[in-house]
């Protein structure tokens, strides 16, 4: 049998999610699996002591056997405790006898933008997309203000709950050392994984593109670049080029916010937020 498939099957067996109804720490009853990532499995659970719903993140067993996996999970716990923001689910305090491979957090009822766009077929106009984007940048401004860069601002990690937005999954987040760094442009770089504010701006550019593409209908089978396929206002087009580091990148979330506030078609949006 191919080694890759053997490893995949082994991980599937070992990393199998906890079943519905499983009682964790004699307190949290597993209700459903919310998502599975490379490092963790996230559940919705019910806290029988309070009756509240909570989110429980479990470090995959195969990752818990490695020092790197345990360190990554501990770092996520520490960063969440440091953040303490209303737009980021708070981590619940755990007693010393609780296993270090679980995180109990606030549960955010809502849907992420991956589900909204691809499962529900939600379509966002340019104005809608910019309104959402502006709110997300304001949250990112607070995260950067705490000296943290998220490094994984993808559509599954941004949740819409009523009129509010939340950012989740800080598994790849890092502390910014000293002065907030802005990396110079260059080739052969993983732009989403750098420990720099620009990695979040690059990811935000792709987040905005997903929103803008939600209503796009291809006119031909030929695949073109977003600049050829999307009909955007000059302001939004120019901002995207800077976010994606095609042109000179933004240096801070504050600069992006100021740029949006100066855009003619976004002034009414920003006045109310």
Q: SS in 3 state form for 72-103?
A: HHHHHHHHHHHHCCCCCCCECCCCCCCCCCEE
Q: DSSP H helical segments within the chain, as ranges?
A: 3-14, 61-64, 67-83, 113-114, 126-145, 197-213, 226-229, 234-243, 253-262, 267-271
The catalytic position among 106, 152, 235, 247 is 152
Among candidates 240, 250, 254, 202, which has minimal Cα distance to 126? 240
Check the annotation: does 75 bind a ligand. no
| Rounded Cα distance, 221 and 218, in Å | 7
- Distance from CA of residue 167 to its chain's centroid? 5
| Rounded Cα distance, 240 and 196, in Å | 18
Active site (annotated) includes residue 152:
yes
Per the annotation, where are the binding residues?
A: 57
Per the annotation, where are the binding residues for ATP?
A: 57
Active-site residues: which are they? 152
């Amino acid at each position: 049998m191919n080694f890759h498939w053997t490893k995949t099957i082994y991980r599937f067996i070992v990393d199998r999610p906890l079943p519905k109804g499983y009682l964790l720490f004699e307190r949290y009853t597993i209700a459903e699996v919310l998502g599975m990532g490379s490092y963790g499995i996230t559940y919705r659970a019910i806290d029988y002591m309070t009756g509240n719903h909570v989110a429980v993140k479990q470090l995959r067993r195969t990752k818990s056997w490695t020092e790197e996996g345990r360190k990554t999970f501990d770092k996520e716990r520490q960063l969440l405790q440091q953040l303490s923001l209303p737009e980021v689910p708070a981590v619940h305090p755990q007693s010393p006898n609780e296993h270090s491979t679980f995180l109990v957090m606030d549960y955010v009822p809502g849907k992420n933008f991956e589900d909204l766009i691809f499962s529900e077929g939600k379509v966002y106009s340019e104005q809608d997309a910019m309104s959402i984007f502006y709110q997300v940048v304001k949250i990112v401004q607070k995260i950067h203000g705490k000296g943290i860069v998220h490094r994984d601002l993808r559509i599954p990690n941004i949740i819409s709950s009523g009129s509010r937005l939340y950012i989740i999954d800080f598994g790849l987040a890092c502390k910014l050392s000293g002065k907030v760094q802005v990396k110079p442009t260059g080739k052969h770089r993983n732009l989403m994984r750098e420990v720099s504010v620009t990695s979040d701006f690059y990811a935000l550019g792709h987040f905005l593109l997903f929103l803008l593409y939600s209503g796009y209908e291809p006119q031909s089978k030929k695949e073109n670049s977003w600049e050829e396929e999307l009909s955007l206002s000059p302001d939004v087009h120019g901002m995207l080029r800077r976010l994606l580091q095609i042109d000179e990148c933004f240096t801070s979330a504050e600069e992006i916010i100021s740029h949006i506030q100066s855009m003619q078609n976004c002034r009414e949006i920003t006045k109310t937020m």
